[in-house]
Amino acid sequence: MKKIILAAVAVFGFAFTANAQDDDKSSGSATSNGTWFVEANTGFGESSTSNTAFALRSIDGNTAWAVGAEAGYFVMDDLAVKAGLGYSDSGVSGLDGTFNWKVGGKYYIASQFPVGLDLNGASGNSVSPLWVGIQAGYAWFVADNVSIEPGLRYGLGINEDAGDGDFNVFGINIGFNIFL
- Provide the phi-psi class of 28: left if phi over 0, else alpha when psi is between -120 and 50, else beta: left
Four-way CATH pick for 2-23+34-179: 3.40.50.720, 3.40.50.1440, 2.40.160.20, 3.90.79.10 = 2.40.160.20
User: How far is residue 16's CA from residue 8's CA, in Å, rounded to a whole number?
Assistant: 12
User: How far is residue 60's CA from residue 46's CA, in Å, rounded to a whole number?
Assistant: 18
Residues 6+ away with beta carbon under 8 Å from 55? 42, 43, 44, 46, 47, 64, 65, 66, 88
> Domain coordinates of the chain in residue numbers?
2-23+34-179
Long-range contacts of 88-91 (CB under 8 A, 24+ apart): 88/47, 88/51, 88/55, 88/64, 88/122, 89/64, 89/65, 90/62, 90/64, 91/58, 91/62, 91/63, 91/64, 91/65
Instruction: Write out the chain's pLDDT in tens, 180 residues.
Output: 454 444 444 444 444 444 444 444 445 689 999 999 999 998 765 544 567 888 888 878 888 888 999 999 999 999 999 999 999 887 777 677 889 999 999 999 999 999 999 999 888 777 788 889 999 999 999 999 999 999 999 988 888 776 655 567 788 889 999 999
Specify the pLDDT at position 17.
42
